[in-house]
Amino acid sequence: MPDQSAFETILFDVADGIATITLNRPERLNALTTGMAKELLAALKTCARDDAIRCVVITGAGRGFSAGQDLAEFSQVSDDFSVADHLRRGYNRLVLALRELEKPVIAVVNGVAAGAGLGLALAADMRIASDRASFVTAFIGIGLAPDSGVSWHLERLIGPARAFELLATGRKVTAEEALRLGLVNQVVPAQELETTVSALARQLAHGPTRSIGLTKRVLNKVATLTLAEALEYEAQIQDIAIRTADHREGVRAFLEKRPPQFSGK
């Protein structure tokens, strides 16, 4: 596991099966730099490899979640800079790493999430927002089209008309509206955010991690399948789930009328 001193722009902490990744450039609302994207990728690789990590929480230090690409860094690029390559090397890998990580990922949206920062929040499995959080697509404000998976996730979460509206106007969505739209799972008062997330993360970290991972695999896949294909895919995945120790423990615990002790195996 990389130790915390290996990172300059994020905090990485593991306790009780939960890895917490904190974007840590609060004076810039945790705007994302190339270095930060590399550190995030390294942290997510550790989360994937380490069996002791059974839930991942991503949040921001200070009053923001993340304001997206650091525009100061962006304004200093050379003439031969390719934005497509920058995206392929950075945010595209990050979004895929979050989606392909077979462990639950909770985005704790403590403040504004904009641009690629919104992309990271949308790539998590659940979003718990503070009542001070807000959501801004931001691309249109600087004359860009969406990237970082924001178009893909927004269209699926809130439908094409609302996705278009948020992308084309760039207007700020409050936490309450985000809840109504289905962008977030829950909104809690800022002072209760930590307690709420810690209870949820603990529940997930003590769950049957492989089944949760397989559930994520199924949801990722069925998005592009017909019903008949999805049924077949579910059947194949269930063949894997039924062989896990946690399945055996779940059934044994039910029959013995006691709570299950899942090991994540």
Per CB under 6 A, residues contacting ligand T3D are 28-29, 31, 67-72, 83, 86-87, 112, 114-116, 136, 138-139, 141-142, 144, 147-148
Compare residues 36 and 114 and give the one whose CB is closer to ligand T3D: 114
Question: Nearest-CB residue to ligand T3D?
Answer: 115
Distance of closest approach, residue 126 Cβ to ligand T3D, in angstroms = 22
Residues in Cβ contact with 150 at an 8 Å cutoff, skipping those fewer than 6 apart: 115, 116, 118, 119, 122, 137, 139, 167
Compare residues 60 and 264 and give the one whose CB is closer to ligand T3D: 60
Distance of closest approach, residue 172 Cβ to ligand T3D, in angstroms = 7
Compare residues 28 and 206 and give the one whose CB is closer to ligand T3D: 28
Distance of closest approach, residue 63 Cβ to ligand T3D, in angstroms = 7
Phi/psi at 178 (5° precision) = -60, -35
The CA dihedral of 26, 24, 55, 88, to the nearest 10 degrees, is: 110
Compare residues 71 and 230 and give the one whose CB is closer to ligand T3D: 71
Identify which of 207, 245, 211, 220 has the alpha carbon closest to the alpha carbon of residue 55.
207
**Sign of the alpha-carbon torsion through 237, 125, 90, 40:** negative
Distance of closest approach, residue 223 Cβ to ligand T3D, in angstroms = 23
Compare residues 89 and 202 and give the one whose CB is closer to ligand T3D: 89
173, β-bridge pairs? 135
Distance of closest approach, residue 66 Cβ to ligand T3D, in angstroms = 8
Distance of closest approach, residue 234 Cβ to ligand T3D, in angstroms = 35
Compare residues 29 and 44 and give the one whose CB is closer to ligand T3D: 29
